[in-house]
Amino acid sequence: MLSIVENNLDYLIVEKPPEVSFHNQQETLGLQQRLEQQTQIKLWPVHRLDKITSGLVIFAKSAPAAAIFGELFEKRQVKKVYLAISDKKPKKKMGKICGDMVKARSGSWKLTLNKSNPAISEFRSQSLSPGIRLFAIKPTTGKTHQIRVALKSIGSPILGDARYGGTESDRGYLHSYSLEFMWQEQLKRYHVLPSSGQYFLHSSMANLTNKLVESFS
């Protein structure tokens, strides 16, 4: 059973498990199909997460609601924070990562020094345990593989992210932690800590996450 965080008249927010594809793959149901079977509701996806990524995903319950979400995302009015872990020391512990993204080999992407249509991510980080670093990332844009490429560019590929040079681990350590947006003139805030992964389940995760996220303010 998928964990549903919000279920109201207009939309549903689910906690996506890691290693679940958004769409069907051969005989394996994707996230949307699994959720529709579980809820018996037709859903409209309004954004997506990579297969390795866990955490919060919004589905609209109607085409008009999906159109509103589409406008919110287009105008960058949905604020998102992701959590990631790396076992590689970053070139800098906090700041902004900005640059154009171009296609590399086999479906991967890379960051360039050009800034004509840049991917922009702000981040903070702190040691979680010896040799393990927790990152909180606040993307301004929503490019494919943006956070994975951004952390690789500062020398800290995500743990378990083989595509971008991350060390092999029990999962890909990227998680959609929080979403914030206005809906019917009300501010909506949702957040959920990761529920799997030996490092994400570290006893200091909650306190350290709060500290890093609050530092964005």
Tell me: pLDDT of 10 over 90: yes
Structural domain boundaries in the chain: 3-214
How far is the C-alpha of 55 from the C-alpha of 195, rounded, in Å?
A: 9
| CA quadruple 150, 32, 193, 11: dihedral, nearest 10 | 110
Is 50 annotated in the active site? yes
How far is the C-alpha of 145 from the C-alpha of 172, rounded, in Å?
A: 13
Contact yes or no for 42/34 (Cβ under 8 A):
no
**pLDDT tens, position by position, 86-112:** 999 999 999 999 999 999 878 899 999
Which amino acid, 33?
A: Q
Q: How many CA atoms lie within 13 A of 3 on its CB side?
A: 14
> Which pTM was predicted?
0.95
State the DSSP code for 205: H
Contact yes or no for 160/54 (Cβ under 8 A):
no
Contact yes or no for 22/30 (Cβ under 8 A):
yes
Displacement of CA 192 from its chain's centroid (Å): 12
**pLDDT tens, position by position, 21-62:** 988 777 788 999 999 999 999 999 999 999 999 999 999 999
- What is the CATH topology of the domain spanning 3-214? Pseudouridine synthase (3.30.2350)
Which tokens belong to 159?
């743990």
State the DSSP code for 25: B
Which tokens belong to 192?
């959920």
Average pLDDT, rounded, for the chain: 95
Residue for token pair 């957040």: 191
Tell me: pLDDT of 166 over 80: yes
3-state DSSP helix/strand/coil % of the chain, to nearest 5: 20, 35, 45
Which one of 10, 50, 100, 170 is the catalytic residue?
A: 50
